Amino acid sequence: MAIKLIVGLGNPGSQYQRTRHNVGFWFVDGLAERFQSSWSSQPRFNGLLAEFRLENQKVFLLKPQTFMNRSGLAVLAVAKYYKIEPEEILVVHDELDLDVGIVKLKIDGGHAGHNGLRDIINYLSSKKFYRLRLGIGRSQTKQVVADYVLSMPSKTDADAVFFAFDKINTEIESLVSGDYQQVMNRLHTS
């Protein structure tokens, strides 16, 4: 199945814009810019929506505006309205369990404590959606997890995340068209 909806997870508001927890927003913002697509506020979807065409296929981009822990509300609203199956959804999110700049693609599985994923699983009543896990690492100090993810990364860490985006961007066409195994192989070995 092809990907029809790419969801970037993050929190709305300028105070969160540059935090680690918003790397999903950063990624879909980059896609919107690359494909010259503009965001429009969609109150019925509780989010910002953009769209672009890739090889005659329409792809929606979504930034839920419900805060991370309630992301499922926006994802379900868009999926129902456009008749998009969970297997046609790619959720892009921050991942504490991966070193900064590491990227992994997977389908299915639990939420591993990520409240955005937990809420999406709950609303979709399914775990069978794709996840693009963007490594943000763990705090090297005893910093509380919430404080760490809601803080800004160093310039070095931010550069590593954007370098990972470049790697993923070379795979977008293959990913959207459904060549998941090949994309996984290339992302996970580079």
Active site residues: 21
User: How many CB atoms within 10 Å of residue 143?
Assistant: 12
- Residue 45 φ then ψ, to 5°: -105, 0
Q: Two tokens at 129?
A: 């959606």
Closest CA to 54 of 76, 35, 69, 38: 35
* DSSP code per residue over 5-62: EEEE----STTTTTSGGGHHHHHHHHHHHHTT---EEEGGGTEEEEEEEETTEEEEEE
Report whether 128 contacts 87 (CB < 8 A): yes
Radius of gyration of the chain (CA): 15
